[in-house]
């Protein structure tokens, strides 16, 4: 999961995750904190499944490595070496995308 909000929304996500018995391992990446700087992580969530909490942002990775990796990644994209099995849906078909189930990644598009 990628969390751009943190704060109370993160706490709600933690509670929701905890309520799913037998759920798969979870990688939770904190990226931003527009909803608050603090969020309580329930100890019971940490005991209920493999749960990895990490942060990502400018401070978590040296800028020079961002640049090197960014250029390399853009080249791989430009060379067409990365493909993603996806089905696009216009924003108006958000419900269809949500209900698509397993299979190709559902991608919402504007316009």
pTM of the model: 0.55
Distance CA 80, CA 75 (A): 9
Sketch the domain layout of the chain as residue ranges.
2-60
Give which of 8, 10, 42, 49 is closest to 29, Cα–Cα.
Answer: 10
Residue 56 banded pLDDT, cuts 50, 70, 90:
confident
Angle at the Cα of 33 (from 41 to 86), degrees rounded to 5? 90
21-50 pLDDT tens trace: 877 899 999 999 999 999 999 999 998 889
């Amino acid at each position: 999961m990628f969390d751009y909000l943190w704060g109370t929304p993160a706490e709600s996500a933690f509670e929701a995750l905890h309520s799913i018995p037998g759920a798969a391992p979870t990688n939770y990446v904190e990226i931003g904190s527009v909803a608050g700087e603090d969020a309580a992580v329930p100890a019971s969530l940490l005991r209920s499944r493999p749960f990895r909490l990490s942060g990502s942002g400018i401070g978590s990775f040296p800028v020079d490595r961002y640049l090197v990796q960014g250029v390399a990644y853009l080249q791989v994209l430009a060379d067409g070496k990365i493909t993603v099995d996806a089905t696009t849906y216009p924003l108006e078909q958000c419900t269809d995308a949500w209900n698509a189930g397993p299979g190709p990644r559902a991608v919402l598009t504007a316009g």
